[in-house]
């Protein structure tokens, strides 16, 4: 029987080794949830890195790890610390990530990173070949694995391969600066279907293929040898029901049973009932525009001083890639900015910014989403941005205002949000004022449209639409080749 093979850098489970033995805990991230409909029922296998390098894996536990992963229909690719250094922290996060998010000056073109990236992509491809059969459908995820489709295609010319990029694909003028640009495109073109979050990323990719490889492109079809490769946009949704239900459950929790975090939020709200809470949640990443947002907040308070003591900005930043130098510097910059602004503007009763640098459990995320009057998300570039969608999904009474950067992929589908340019402080100050004073009826009208759309195009629909298009593509190719 044919299977679906999913491949991503990280597996959707986390291994925990303790005195009590080994456990594999399923992750609750967006991708893991979204793939549930595809990754179920014994007809699929998920291949990826387990989260433990070879050096961190006790040899006596190897077999147990494989067994634990097998129970979740997962299989691991082993990576050494050195491989992680060059492949993940190197080429993926110091070359591709900054380049594809338009931070050209951060992008490092290191031959050693590239060589390790190639070698590790080959390892993933070899694992796929070993664990799959002719006739299986393969879905490769994200920028860490862009060479895998071609590497698999070489050994399995007739296999159906899909690829989805979770980050932006940059314009040709940016992409062309990459020394290994042709190899990356050729790697991706091993696929039958290549998916992006937005139509713009799709256009940028097609333009690079046409101009760098000189291939024939018609609408969103690329002609390569005897194959036609389809390129399309599939905007990723969220598990809408999960967020909505969690918010409903949250309302029903009695005062005594609320989380400590919520109790703190409640007591602050009670002590200053007129204070509006403005929320921002991101991984601590320079692409998310956190430092600019803090500066824009200071600008707002200076432009509209009447809102001092009437608003509070909550910044929740999840630690991320902290061994990459730029992330260390950013952490320092944000610490200093928050310290300076709070030092200069705080009063006895008021601290303008609450800053948390940590990952929070799901229920606390819901506490924050449901307690905040405004969500303010200002990425300088973002493939999609799921936080924007999650905030809207938790607004059970339909109040709340979303201020969203037009540089986020999600802005394309969220026109009812207040869209801003994160580089324009004047506009953001005025938009914050507008959000604070927006009548409830207007908030509700906007959120009604947003919620309806999010409910319909949820993450399961996203996964099914991609798989459906990939299956249709394989049938077309079969007809095309056999004509």
Alpha carbon 172 to its chain's center: 22
Q: Which is nearer to ligand ADQ, 307 or 462 (CB)?
A: 462
Taking CB under 6 A as the criterion, the residue among 65, 161, 167, 278 binding ligand ADQ is 167
Nearest to 238 by CA among 30, 411, 396: 30
268 within 8 A of 309, measured Cβ to Cβ: no
Nearest to 78 by CA among 117, 51, 44: 51
Taking CB under 6 A as the criterion, the residue among 239, 382, 413, 460 binding ligand ADQ is 382
Taking CB under 6 A as the criterion, the residue among 166, 204, 321, 395 binding ligand ADQ is 166
Euclidean distance between CA atoms 175 and 153, whole angstroms: 24
* Closest distance to ligand ADQ from the beta carbon of 289 (Å): 12
| Interface stretch with ligand ADQ, choices 119-127, 383-391, 416-424, 433-441 (CB under 6 A) | 383-391
* Closest distance to ligand ADQ from the beta carbon of 356 (Å): 7
Q: Does 170 bind ligand ADQ (CB under 6 A)?
A: no
Q: Which is nearer to ligand ADQ, 217 or 360 (CB)?
A: 360
Q: Does 390 bind ligand ADQ (CB under 6 A)?
A: yes
Residues 288-327 that bind ligand ADQ (CB under 6 A): 316, 318
Tell me the site size for ligand ADQ, rule CB under 6 A. Answer: 18
Euclidean distance between CA atoms 59 and 131, whole angstroms: 22
Beta carbons within 8 Å of 267's beta carbon, 6+ residues apart: none
Tokens coding 372: 């905040």
Q: Does 387 bind ligand ADQ (CB under 6 A)?
A: yes
Indicate the SS3 state at residue 319. coil
Per-residue binding string, ligand ADQ, 337-366, x by CB under 6 A, is ----------------------xx----x-
Q: Does 384 bind ligand ADQ (CB under 6 A)?
A: yes
Euclidean distance between CA atoms 407 and 304, whole angstroms: 26
* Closest distance to ligand ADQ from the beta carbon of 42 (Å): 26
Euclidean distance between CA atoms 98 and 286, whole angstroms: 9
Euclidean distance between CA atoms 65 and 81, whole angstroms: 18
* Closest distance to ligand ADQ from the beta carbon of 421 (Å): 18
Residues 29-88 that bind ligand ADQ (CB under 6 A): 30
* Closest distance to ligand ADQ from the beta carbon of 477 (Å): 26
* Closest distance to ligand ADQ from the beta carbon of 142 (Å): 8
Looking at residue 12, the DSSP 8-state letter turns out to be: S
* Closest distance to ligand ADQ from the beta carbon of 394 (Å): 11
Characterize the bridge pairing of strands 418-420 and 160-164.
unpaired
42 within 8 A of 88, measured Cβ to Cβ: no
Euclidean distance between CA atoms 3 and 13, whole angstroms: 20
Helix (H) or strand (E) segment spanning residue 482:
helix 459-482
Binding site for ligand ADQ (CB under 6 A): 30, 166-167, 236, 281, 283, 316, 318, 359-360, 365, 382-387, 390
């Amino acid at each position: 029987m044919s299977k679906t093979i999913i491949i991503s850098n990280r597996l959707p489970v986390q291994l925990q080794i303790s005195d009590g033995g080994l456990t594999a805990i399923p992750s609750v991230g967006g991708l893991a949830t979204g793939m549930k409909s595809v990754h179920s029922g014994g007809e699929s296998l998920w291949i990826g890195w387990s989260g433990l390098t070879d050096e961190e894996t006790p040899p006596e536990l190897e077999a147990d790890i494989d067994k634990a992963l097998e129970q979740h229909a997962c299989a691991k690719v082993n990576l050494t610390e050195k491989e992680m250094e060059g492949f993940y922290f190197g080429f993926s996060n110091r070359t591709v990530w900054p380049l594809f998010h338009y931070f050209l000056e951060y992008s490092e073109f290191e031959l050693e990173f590239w060589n390790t990236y190639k070698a590790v992509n080959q390892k993933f491809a070899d694992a796929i070949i070993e664990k799959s059969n002719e006739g299986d459908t393969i879905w490769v995820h994200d920028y860490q694995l862009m060479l895998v489709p071609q590497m698999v295609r070489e050994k399995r010319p007739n296999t159906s391969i899909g690829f989805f990029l979770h980050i932006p694909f940059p314009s040709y003028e940016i992409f062309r600066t990459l020394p290994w640009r042709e190899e990356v495109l050729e790697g991706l073109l091993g696929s039958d279907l290549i998916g992006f979050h937005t139509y713009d990323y799709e256009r940028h990719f097609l333009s690079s293929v046409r101009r760098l490889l000189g291939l024939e492109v018609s609408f969103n079809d690329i002609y390569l040898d005897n194959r036609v490769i389809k390129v399309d946009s599939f905007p990723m949704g969220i598990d809408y029901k999960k967020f909505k239900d969690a918010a409903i459950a949250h309302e029903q929790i009695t005062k005594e049973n609320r989380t400590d975090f919520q109790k703190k939020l409640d007591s602050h709200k009670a002590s200053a009932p007129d204070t509006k809470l403005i929320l921002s949640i991101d991984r601590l990443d320079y692409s998310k525009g956190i430092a600019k947002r803090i500066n824009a907040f200071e600008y707002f308070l200076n432009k509209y001083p009447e809102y001092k003591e009437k608003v509070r900005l909550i910044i929740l930043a999840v630690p991320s890639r902290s061994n990459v130098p730029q992330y260390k510097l950013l952490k320092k910059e944000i610490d200093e900015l928050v310290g300076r602004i709070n030092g200069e503007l705080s009063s006895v009763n008021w601290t303008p910014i609450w800053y948390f640098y940590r990952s929070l459990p799901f229920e606390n995320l819901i506490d924050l989403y449901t307690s905040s009057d405004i969500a303010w998300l200002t990425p300088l570039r973002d493939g999609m941005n799921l936080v924007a969608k999650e905030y809207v999904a938790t607004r059970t009474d339909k109040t709340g205002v979303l201020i969203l950067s037009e540089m986020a992929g999600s802005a394309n589908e969220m026109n009812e949000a207040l869209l801003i340019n994160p580089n324009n402080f004047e506009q953001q100050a005025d938009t914050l004022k507008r959000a604070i004073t927006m009548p409830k009826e207007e908030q509700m009208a906007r959120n009604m449209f947003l919620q309806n759309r999010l409910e319909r195009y949820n993450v399961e629909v996203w996964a099914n639409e991609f798989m459906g298009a990939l299956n249709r593509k394989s049938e077309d190719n079969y007809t095309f080749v056999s004509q």
